[in-house]
């Protein structure tokens, strides 16, 4: 299904929406919800072999606990929950999963969680064994939602606590610097705005980092700020275009240089509000406040009257397939939320747009 949506109330903009949410052949259920079991907010990690994928998620809305599953075939089939340290059961907010090679050339996989004191667990053997969760000195409501490499072998992590914060690690994620503010509540141009749940995107030329943020007062579009000095300072936040308005953005560049950003659609009066969507455009579109190329409705949420999906993982496979994974009420009925992925290539979506 392809249709145009006009947001006459705000910006008078138009953007094409391509709906693949009913194409069940693209969908894989990672973990099925039941009438008694709610499968929560996932993140994913594609390993360097380009086949092994991990998925972590909590049981319930933000917790408790962290469940870890593994796929050996790019997310087409998934293991049962893997054995993890006992204190993972005490996790109390949405877990986040990252892998980096430190300055010591050691590859580490991290799981971060917390609502209050942020905690982290590390694996040194490609996810086979893990350390118990331990506090890392940071305070949070939502743990790291974004992390990118900086020059000099450092890492920049961003997270939220009724504002948007960042910290730097010089040792591959083992320890973190004191927090730094990216965007506070009530920025000067937007009274009552609450910027949170950041996503970090480096420009194609490497010179600029954009920080996309959920706007939690629901009075404005999503917000964005920019750094031109490796995260040391940030510009005043501004609204994004209407089509980028949503929660928990997860970006990834395609092989042709376009950006794919998945999120829960929260744009005012949107025909897909509350559902799981992807925005396709360019980094320059974000800089210019432009609409982008189009949106894709990936999955339909059957949680009537409740915006409760998103918090995605997004991976790009060598053949150009994107694997976007979310928690969502997948079908009508008594079953609670499931963890589900949708698989697509931009070439396929481009062809649908032209058809």
Asked if residue 176 belongs to a domain, the reply is no
Q: Give the pLDDT confidence of 83-130 residue by residue, as tens digits.
A: 999 999 999 999 999 999 999 999 999 999 999 999 999 999 999 999
Pick the range with the lowest mean pLDDT from 9-13, 281-285, 337-341.
9-13
Distance CA 142, CA 95 (A): 9
- Structural domain tally of the chain? 1
b/e string for 108-128 if b means 16 or more Cβ within 10 A?
Answer: bbbbbbbbeebbbbbbeeebe
Structure tokens at 147: 């992390």
pLDDT for res 24: 97
Asked if residue 230 belongs to a domain, the reply is no
220 versus 63: the higher-pLDDT residue is 220
Asked if residue 149 belongs to a domain, the reply is no
8 versus 316: the higher-pLDDT residue is 316
Q: In what order do the strands lie in the sheet with 107-113?
A: 96-101, 107-113, 116-123, 134-140
What is the model's pTM?
A: 0.95
Asked if residue 286 belongs to a domain, the reply is yes
Asked if residue 355 belongs to a domain, the reply is yes
pLDDT for res 68: 98
Asked if residue 26 belongs to a domain, the reply is yes
Asked if residue 212 belongs to a domain, the reply is no
Asked if residue 253 belongs to a domain, the reply is no
Q: What is the mean pLDDT of the chain?
A: 94
Q: Which residues span the domain enclosing 349?
A: 1-31+261-355
73 versus 162: the higher-pLDDT residue is 73
């Amino acid at each position: 299904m392809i249709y145009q949506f006009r947001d006459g109330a705000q910006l008078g903009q138009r953007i094409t929406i391509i709906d693949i949410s009913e194409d069940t052949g693209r969908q894989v259920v990672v973990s099925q919800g039941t009438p008694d079991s709610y499968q929560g907010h996932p993140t994913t990690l594609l390993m360097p072999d380009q086949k092994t994928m991990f998925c972590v998620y909590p049981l319930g809305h933000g917790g408790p606990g962290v469940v870890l599953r593994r796929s050996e075939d790019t997310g087409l089939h998934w293991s049962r929950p893997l054995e993890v340290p006992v204190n993972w059961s005490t996790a109390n907010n949405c877990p986040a999963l990252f892998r980096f090679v430190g300055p010591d050339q050691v590859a580490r996989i991290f799981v971060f969680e917390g609502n209050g004191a942020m905690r982290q667990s590390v694996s040194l053997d490609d996810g086979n064994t893990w350390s118990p969760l331990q506090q890392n000195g940071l305070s949070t409501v939502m743990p790291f939602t974004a992390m990118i490499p900086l020059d000099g072998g450092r890492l920049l992590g961003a997270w939220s606590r009724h504002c948007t914060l960042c910290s730097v690690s010089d040792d591959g994620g083992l320890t973190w610097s004191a927090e730094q503010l990216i965007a506070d509540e009530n920025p000067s141009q937007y009274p009552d705005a609450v910027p949170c749940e950041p996503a970090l995107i480096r420009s194609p030329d490497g010179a600029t980092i954009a920080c996309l943020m959920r706007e939690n007062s629901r009075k404005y579009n999503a917000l964005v700020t920019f750094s031109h000095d490796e995260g040391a300072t940030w510009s005043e936040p501004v609204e994004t275009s209407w089509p980028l308005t949503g929660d928990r953005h997860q970006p990834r560049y395609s092989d042709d240089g376009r950006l794919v950003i998945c999120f829960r659609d929260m744009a005012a009066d949107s025909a897909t509000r509350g559902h799981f969507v992807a925005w396709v455009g360019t980094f320059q579109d974000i800089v210019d406040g432009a609409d982008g190329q189009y949106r894709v409705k990936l999955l339909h949420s059957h949680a009537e009257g409740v915006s409760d999906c998103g918090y995605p993982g997004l991976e790009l496979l060598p053949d150009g397939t994107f694997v976007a994974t979310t928690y969502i009420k997948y079908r009508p009925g008594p079953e609670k939320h499931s963890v589900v992925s949708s698989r697509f290539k931009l070439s396929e979506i481009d062809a649908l747009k032209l058809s």
